[in-house]
């Protein structure tokens, strides 16, 4: 197997045996990036000199010692650009490390490369990036998912051993599904958000993209924990997320939410997910039908709450303190208007306008307050379901990757791409997507993602359930033929 194709765990075993060095790993990545990223378009920038200096000094005895990890361009790495894939932040260089980056460094990892995304994490296809186009490595004419499309694409294309993304309504799990890798969304508050450029503060969560479930567990070991700089991070003990890996599924109950198996799912996706469910039964798990009755309201609730929070969070980008400023404005008002008009893309403007509307006088109670009440009902649905089962099992996405440009003129259809992922963010649960098969569409072999949703703070159990399936199937070993 080529060096760039190794899992994080396999790579570190080579480091510790002395067979390879972190510099060897960087060399392999740089060659791979040079060979394929011109077609994939995952990376926005690379800080090669700093990465090589860190690799030369890496302590491979540390939990992630010497491992290069790509970073979504919405997470601050001191000295690197952090644009959120937006024109309004072009030219901005991060002045500090996000807590997750500081924790990666403490575990011995090497932040290497800024990867593309939908602007300010608003999108499901990475087509909203103001900077470049990212393609799905399995079919370069198709989208990689979003908003963390670059994070998923570089792992799937073996241009990264692992990457970090953020998940506000499915932005880790959905691109992981469409690109055929593992994407983990931790419980809200399990991982610090300090240093993450905010989209929707009550929904955003940072998590890893990896090639295997074990790798996700190992990265989460480094990321999890209380952070005094993030008041929403939870002051609870950090588990060893690898401790349950390898256990059998005797006594495990998995719930099939009937609202997630509906008309409109791609038949090949449905078939692959149901085959995965049968595999779980063969492994000893019990499958139970459950109901999440308020699921039908999740998309509407999400796009009220998320846009309202985005409207408040993005007010800081005004041309005064950092980022883009309009040239030669006649007065302060014109500077504000032109800076934001020229700096933000169409989707970001759409969401700011919608969010401002639902927060405005006369509409707050009708929209935002009511959405928060329905959010509570959605959370209660999960609580009741988890009284009966250990985790939920369902599709990550109702379809495989669609062609670039197919949804650009239909925002509502684009929003519905996250119908199975949004509710977990509203409830604050943990979730993971892992490969469960392929669909054949117009001559392309495209990955299908299986989603598992777990109780808050039960990532160790969720990872164990995911690992059992992964190790009994070949899907995680598949690679696109770039």
| N- to C-terminal Cα separation, the chain | 15
The pLDDT of 206-232, averaged and rounded, is 98
Can you give the length of the chain in residues? 482
Residue 224 DSSP code:
B
Q: Which two tokens stand for residue 34?
A: 């040079």
Residue 5 DSSP code:
G
- In what helix (H) or strand (E) does residue 68 lie, and over which residues does it extend? strand 68-72
The whole-number pLDDT of residue 133 equals 97
Cβ proximity of 448 and 269 under 8 Å: yes
The pLDDT of 292-307, averaged and rounded, is 96
CA 257/CA 238 separation, integer angstroms: 29
Is the pTM higher than 0.75? yes
The whole-number pLDDT of residue 414 equals 83
The pLDDT of 341-355, averaged and rounded, is 95
Q: Annotated catalytic residue: which of 124, 147, 148, 163?
A: 147
Beta carbons within 8 Å of 187's beta carbon, 6+ residues apart: 205, 234, 428, 429, 430, 456, 457, 458, 459
Cβ proximity of 167 and 426 under 8 Å: no
Among this protein's residues, is 72 annotated catalytic? yes
Query: Which DSSP string do the residues of 334-402 spell out, in sequence order?
Result: HHHHHHHHHHS-HHHHHHHHHHHHHHSTTTIIIIIIHHHHHHHHHHHHHHHHTTT-SEEEEESSSS-PP
Confidence of residue 1 (pLDDT cuts 50, 70, 90): low
Residue 410 DSSP code:
-
CA 223/CA 192 separation, integer angstroms: 8
The answer on pLDDT for 274 being more than 80 is: yes
Among this protein's residues, is 250 annotated catalytic? no
Beta strands in 196-248 (DSSP E): 206-210
Helix 370-385 and helix 298-313, axial crossing angle in degrees, nearest 10: 120
- In 3D space, the residue among 70, 64, 164 whose CA is nearest the CA of residue 112 turns out to be 70
Sign of the four-CA dihedral 343, 345, 348, 350: positive
The pLDDT of 298-319, averaged and rounded, is 95
Cβ proximity of 403 and 141 under 8 Å: yes
CA 393/CA 454 separation, integer angstroms: 9
CA 433/CA 418 separation, integer angstroms: 13
The whole-number pLDDT of residue 58 equals 97
405-423 pLDDT per residue, tens:
998 888 878 888 889 999 9
CA 24/CA 21 separation, integer angstroms: 5
CA 342/CA 471 separation, integer angstroms: 49
The whole-number pLDDT of residue 412 equals 78
Q: Annotated catalytic residue: which of 7, 86, 166, 171?
A: 171
The pLDDT of 457-467, averaged and rounded, is 98
The whole-number pLDDT of residue 114 equals 98
Pick the CATH number of 3-254+384-477 from 3.40.50.720, 3.90.320.10, 3.90.1300.10, 3.40.50.20: 3.90.1300.10
The pLDDT of 112-123, averaged and rounded, is 98
Q: Which residue has the tokens 């003129």?
A: 409
Q: Is 230 left (phi over 0), alpha (psi -120 to 50) or beta?
A: beta
229-263 pLDDT per residue, tens:
999 999 999 999 999 999 999 999 999 999 999 88
Q: Which two tokens stand for residue 304?
A: 């009220």
- Share of residues in the chain with pLDDT > 70 (%): 100
Q: Annotated catalytic residue: which of 72, 185, 324, 461?
A: 72
CA 207/CA 191 separation, integer angstroms: 8
Among this protein's residues, is 226 annotated catalytic? no
- Domain residue spans of the chain: 3-254+384-477
Q: Which two tokens stand for residue 89?
A: 């932040």
Query: Which DSSP string do the residues of 437-478 spell out, in sequence order?
Result: EEEEETTEEEEEEEEEEE-TT-HHHHHHHHHHHHHTSSGGG-
Q: Tell how far CA 389 is from the center of its chain.
A: 25
R_g of the chain computed on alpha carbons: 21
- In 3D space, the residue among 150, 212, 149, 241 whose CA is nearest the CA of residue 12 turns out to be 212
- In 3D space, the residue among 227, 221, 281 whose CA is nearest the CA of residue 254 turns out to be 281
18-75 pLDDT per residue, tens:
999 999 999 999 999 999 999 999 999 999 999 999 999 999 999 999 999 999 999 9
CA 208/CA 431 separation, integer angstroms: 12
CA torsion, points 128, 435, 173, 251, in degrees to nearest 10? 170
Q: Which two tokens stand for residue 370?
A: 């009511």
| pLDDT, the chain, mean | 96
């Amino acid at each position: 197997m080529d060096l760039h194709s190794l899992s994080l765990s396999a790579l570190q075993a080579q480091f510790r045996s002395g067979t390879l060095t972190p510099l060897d790993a960087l060399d392999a990545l740089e060659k791979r990036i040079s060979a394929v990223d011109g077609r994939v378009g995952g990376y926005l920038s690379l800080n090669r000199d700093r990465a090589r200096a860190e690799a030369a000094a890496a302590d491979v005895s540390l939990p992630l010692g010497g491992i290069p990890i790509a970073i979504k361009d919405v997470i601050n790495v001191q000295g690197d650009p952090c644009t959120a894939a937006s024109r309004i932040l072009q030219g901005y260089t991060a002045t500090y490390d996000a807590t997750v980056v500081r924790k990666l460094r403490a575990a011995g990892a090497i932040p290497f490369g800024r990867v593309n995304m939908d602007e300010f994490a608003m999108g499901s296809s990475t087509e909203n990036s103001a900077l470049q186009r990212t393609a799905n490595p399995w079919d370069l004419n198709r989208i990689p998912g979003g908003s963390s499309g670059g994070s998923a694409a570089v792992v799937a294309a073996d241009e990264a051993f692992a990457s970090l993304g953020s998940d506000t309504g499915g932005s880790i799990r959905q691109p992981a599904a469409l690109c055929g890798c593992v994407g983990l969304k931790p419980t809200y508050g399990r991982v610090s958000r300090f240093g993450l450029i905010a989209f929707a503060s009550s929904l955003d969560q940072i998590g890893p993209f990896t090639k295997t479930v074990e790798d996700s567990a190992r990265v989460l070991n480094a990321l999890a924990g209380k952070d005094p700089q993030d008041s929403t991070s939870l002051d609870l003990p950090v588990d060893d997320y690898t401790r349950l890996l390898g256990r059998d599924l005797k006594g495990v109950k998995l719930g099939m939410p009937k609202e997630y198996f509906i008309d409109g799912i791609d038949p090949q996706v449905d078939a692959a997910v149901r085959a995965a469910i049968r595999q779980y039964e063969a492994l000893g798990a019990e499958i139970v039908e459950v109901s999440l009755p308020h699921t039908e309201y999740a998309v509407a609730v999400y796009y009220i709450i998320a846009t309202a929070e985005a409207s408040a969070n993005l007010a800081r980008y005004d041309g005064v303190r950092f980022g883009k400023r309009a040239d030669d404005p006649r007065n302060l008002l014109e500077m504000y208007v032109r800076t934001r008009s020229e700096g933000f893309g169409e989707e970001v403007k759409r969401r700011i306008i919608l969010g401002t509307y639902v927060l405005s006088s006369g509409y707050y109670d009708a929209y935002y307050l009511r959405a928060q009440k329905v959010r509570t009902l959605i959370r209660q649905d999960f609580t009741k379901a988890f009284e009966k089962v250990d985790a939920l099992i369902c599709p990550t996405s109702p379809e495989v990757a669609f062609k670039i440009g197919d949804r650009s003129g239909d925002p509502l259809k684009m929003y519905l791409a996250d119908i199975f992922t949004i509710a977990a963010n509203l409830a604050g649960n943990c979730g993971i997507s892992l490969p469960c098969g392929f669909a054949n569409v117009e001559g392309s072999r495209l990955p299908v993602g299986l989603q598992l949703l777990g109780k808050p703070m039960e990532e160790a159990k969720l990872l164990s359930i995911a690992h059992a399936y992964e190790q009994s199937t070949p899907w995680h070993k598949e690679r696109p033929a770039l």
